[in-house]
Amino acid sequence: MMLACGKKEGEVEEVIVGTAPNFVPFEYMDGDKIIGFDVELLDEISKETGVKFKMVGMDFSGLLPALQTKKIDMIVSGMSVTEDRKKNVNFSNPYFTISQVIMLGENSKDITKEEDINGKKIGVVMGTTSDTLADKFSKDLTGVEVIKYNKLYEAALALQGQKIDMIILDNQQAKKTIENNKGLKLASYVLQSEDYAIAMGKDKTELLKKINTALEKILKSEKYDELMKKYID
């Protein structure tokens, strides 16, 4: 079974899923193939619902515009649920909870409280909730400059090269980045917790029901535990 995506009545086609495949361990490239936690979770949703999904890679900042212009039908890309995003899209029930953290160069002084961010040059991936947090710091604190990148590895290189002082990102992404790159560490200060969910257009009510029903079953399953052990633990 495949799901119709709003073309001619009765016409059947696959659901086009947008993702930003530079977000280890959730979605990333292995050669020319997109792999990761979210990808395997989507495979399980497909098995439960009978819906066929096709993943399309793009920059994270392009995902919501692509959804709003119907170039894609759905977003599975470690996307945090926010009140602002909920104005324009429907979110599934959450499937993962993360924390926003700060990554530093290994020789940098630790950040233990918000005031320590004063005067810092912050790197973020454009369009993320980290981007929103950094913009808030630039308004609320003193001397904060925000540098926005399309991809995390660009920000990591800038941090290693001391072009920026810190990066705001989620804790799982930070963990993998530190494992794979020398000279980086986590700050003690943790910013906020967020839920990841699947985003889709406001008109995709039937698809939303199918996915929520599938997620309810998958999150209680051994398969979800296996994904956690494979990609997260």
> Distance from first CA to last CA of the chain, Å, rounded?
34
Cβ–Cβ < 8 Å for 198, 49: no
| 19 phi, psi to nearest 5 deg | -150, 155
**Rounded-to-integer distance, Cα 233 and Cα 221, Å:** 17
pTM greater than 0.75: yes
Domains observed in the chain: 15-95+197-232 (3.40.190.10), 98-194 (3.40.190.10)
Provide the greatest CA pair distance for the chain.
61
Question: Residue 109 gets which letter from DSSP?
Answer: P
DSSP string computed for 165-198:
SEEEEEHHHHHHHHHHSTTEEEEEEEEEEEEE--
Cβ–Cβ < 8 Å for 102, 168: yes
- Tokens linked to 33: 């193939």
Which residues of the chain are under the pLDDT cut of 50? 1-12
Q: What is the pLDDT of residue 14?
A: 87
Question: How many Cβ atoms sit within 10 Å of the Cβ of residue 109?
Answer: 10
Q: What is the pLDDT of residue 215?
A: 98
SS3 (DSSP) at 75: strand
Q: What is the pLDDT of residue 156?
A: 96
**Rounded-to-integer distance, Cα 74 and Cα 90, Å:** 10
Angle 117-86-100 (CA atoms, 0-180°, nearest 5)? 25
Cβ–Cβ < 8 Å for 97, 195: yes
Helices (H), 109-186: 129-140, 152-160, 171-180
